[in-house]
Amino acid sequence: MTPEAQSDIRRSRLSLEGEATLRGPDGHWRAPVGDVSITGLHMPRPPGFRHPVGHAVEVELHCGPPHAGVDLRLLARVARTDATTLGLRFAPMPDRLERALERVLAHYGTLRCGVADEPAVGS
């Protein structure tokens, strides 16, 4: 049975144009979005961001083309960090927010083989 594109979204990281604003108790930081999945975000580490693994942050995800104005607010924890990149794991979210994120990924995200709403080549 060939998996549907929606199942690819649930288990894949997708490239997504946009910017993330991270907010913590001691400031906020902005950086371009890298790869996003339904469970988390991988992005360049914003200058000055020094929070350790496990630290909670609020993520404002601004994505899609400028005229679309898609903004989502999510909670996350730092999962990985090094000198240049940052990995965040999203906190469990309400079903409505999860579906909104899935729609954003399906509409604006890009799998490595093409756009998210097309089946993967060879599937």
CATH number 3.40.640.10 is the correct assignment for the domain at 5-115: no
Q: Tell me, what DSSP letter sits at residue 55? A: -
Distance CA(1)–CA(111), nearest Å, equals 20
CA dist., res. 111 & res. 77, Å (int):
24
Model pTM above 0.75: yes
Cβ density class 84-109: b for 16+ within 10 Å, e for less:
eebbbebeebeeeeeeebbebbbebb
Residue 4: which pLDDT band, with cuts at 50, 70 and 90?
Answer: very low
Output the pLDDT for position 65: 74
3-state DSSP assignment of residue 99: helix
Locate the domains of the chain by residue range.
5-115
pLDDT tens per residue, range 55-91: 999 999 998 777 777 889 999 999 999 999 999 999 9
Q: 32: closest CA among 47, 48, 44, 14?
A: 44
Contact indicator for 42, 90 with CB cutoff of 8 Å = no
